[in-house]
Amino acid sequence: MKNFAVTGCPVSHSRSPDVFRYFFKLTGLNYNYTRLSIVSVSELVDVMEKLDIEGLNVTSPFKEDAFRISVVKDDVSVRTRSVNTVIRKNGKIFGYNTDYHGVQSSVVSNKIHVKGKKCLILGAGGAGRSAAAALKDLGGEVYICNRTDERALRISREIGCRFISYSDVLQEIPDADLFVPAVTKLPDIFLPLMENIAVLDPSYKDPDLMKYCKNYTGGTDWLIYQAQRSFELFTGLKTGIDSLKDHLSGLSKIKNIAITGPTCAGKTTFGKLIAAHFGMRFYDSDEETENTEGKKIKDIFKIYGETHFRNAETASLERICRENNFIVSVGAGALEKKENRDLLSKHCFTVLLYNDAGNILKFLKKEDVDERPLLQCGDPASAMQRMLEERKQNYLNCADLVFIIGKGSVEQECKKLIRELDER
């Protein structure tokens, strides 16, 4: 199976998995797509290799960093110095800019006329750069503005568009024909100026801007069209987008959270801290199974065998998934059963805590190993590495978010994960 993902910081809000899973289903491809939470692009190549990820979509704030790590780049990426699609091939990182396609297709499909029109872009990050190049090539009279004037001035020269000082932007907006707010959050002072101009909003997280605009095109269009081009680069296939907007609008947010991952990755510790933060009920599937069976897991294995334990584990997960507003820490081997993966996919936003086996073993005590039957083999390091490799694909198949555990304390890493989940 081929694996793909979207990465950013934060990334939990991204709807790219919904889009690509739709594309894969539409074209009959048995591929996997998830979200990948990292704090630095410097770790990206190593993580892609370890998780067998072939292609990535890249969102804020990593598009310029993705450009820097790409060995081979397409022409638009070189022009904008922004990469939002990465492919790992033959040991090299290939970088592409499909935001350019997303902008142009959004404008054309929504009949926004930009030729000879004043197009004002606020924000000089990867999205702003891409919009500037795309609109300029459609014949727009493009202006770029950024809170840091020096940055906007430099990019205007690189792209070949015009520059507006941030101190002047409020006076310039009413004269614009098209406004692109390529910023994390548009200050409220801008909102009353939106009424009589067309707006192309890169974001689909905060649709409140739509209330102020008569001619508003939201980030879903941009998302879909750039993803369509990324899909072609990933697979070599073309796909339509008919009914995709309806599909996305029909999806509901799942509140329950499942924490998965290898043995001793910290699932229970993280789960309890996250549950306390969100005021949710916490379950540990191993504890639930032990309580039901009246025995410790090692004794269940010893007396009844692994098959009995796995069936009891499934029964525990079924009971938990009948509840609402819960977080569950899932046993390391539970996702080997498709029945369990299907349960979590239906009822939970599933987070994979990922750490190397070697890093996990550094923190294990003898009693930790003794409590886990599958590690009692004389060489727990090799056993853990083997299990991680064998289970990795099933972990990925079920994951809505892969969280790479860093070198901070448990509390520090958990705070990072909570910040991610706050963005859902």
Q: Of 199-203, 252-256, 361-365, which range is least confident?
A: 361-365
Is residue 190 pLDDT above 80, yes or no? Answer: yes
In this predicted structure, what is the pLDDT of residue 171? 94
Query: 390 and 264 in contact (C-beta within 8 Å)?
Result: no
Instruction: Taking the CA atoms of 243, 346, 423 and 53 in sequence, report the sign of the dihedral they define.
Output: negative
Structural domain ending residue among the three candidates 199, 217, 235: 217
Please tell me whether residues 268 and 352 are part of one structural domain: yes
Give burial (CB, 10 Å; 0-12/13-18/19+) of 71: exposed
Please tell me whether residues 205 and 80 are part of one structural domain: no
In this predicted structure, what is the pLDDT of residue 216? 92
CATH number at residue 14: 3.40.50.10860
Please tell me whether residues 409 and 279 are part of one structural domain: yes
Mean residue pLDDT of the chain comes to 91
Pairwise CA distance, residues 141 & 178, whole Å: 10
Tell me the DSSP string of 208-233.
GGGGG-SEEE-HHHHHHHHHHHHHHH
Please tell me whether residues 129 and 238 are part of one structural domain: no
Please tell me whether residues 122 and 74 are part of one structural domain: no
Please tell me whether residues 156 and 93 are part of one structural domain: no
In this predicted structure, what is the pLDDT of residue 376? 56
Q: Which domain holds residue 88?
A: 3-97+223-248
Pairwise CA distance, residues 88 & 108, whole Å: 31
Q: Are strands 178-181 and 162-163 parallel, antiparallel or unpaired?
A: unpaired
- Of residues 304, 301, 303, 365, the one with CA closest to residue 331: 301
Query: 59 and 8 in contact (C-beta within 8 Å)?
Result: yes
Please tell me whether residues 64 and 130 are part of one structural domain: no
Pairwise CA distance, residues 43 & 407, whole Å: 12
Q: What is the pLDDT of residues 368-418, one digit of tens each?
A: 555 555 555 656 666 777 878 889 999 999 999 999 988 888 889 999 999
- The whole-number average pLDDT for the span 51-71 is 95
Please tell me whether residues 86 and 118 are part of one structural domain: no
Structural domain ending residue among the three candidates 196, 217, 238: 217
**Main-chain dihedrals φ then ψ at residue 6, nearest 5 degrees:** -120, 140
Please tell me whether residues 273 and 407 are part of one structural domain: yes
Q: Are strands 53-58 and 85-89 parallel, antiparallel or unpaired?
A: antiparallel
Please tell me whether residues 206 and 236 are part of one structural domain: no
CATH number at residue 414: 3.40.50.300
CATH number at residue 180: 3.40.50.720
Q: Please state the pTM of the whole predicted model.
A: 0.92
Total residue length of the chain: 424
Helix, strand, coil % over all residues of the chain, rounded to 5: 50, 15, 30
- Of residues 406, 421, 417, the one with CA closest to residue 349: 421
Q: What is the pLDDT of residues 131-159, one digit of tens each?
A: 999 999 999 999 999 999 999 999 999 99
Please tell me whether residues 157 and 113 are part of one structural domain: yes
Tell me the DSSP string of 379-395.
-HHHHHHHHHHHHHHHH
Q: Which two tokens stand for residue 177?
A: 């024909």
One-letter amino acid at 294 equals G
The count of domains in the chain is 3
Pairwise CA distance, residues 378 & 381, whole Å: 9
Looking at the chain, the whole-number percentage of residues with pLDDT higher than 90 is 75
Please tell me whether residues 272 and 417 are part of one structural domain: yes
Q: What is the pLDDT of residues 240-275, one digit of tens each?
A: 998 998 999 888 889 999 999 988 788 999 999 999
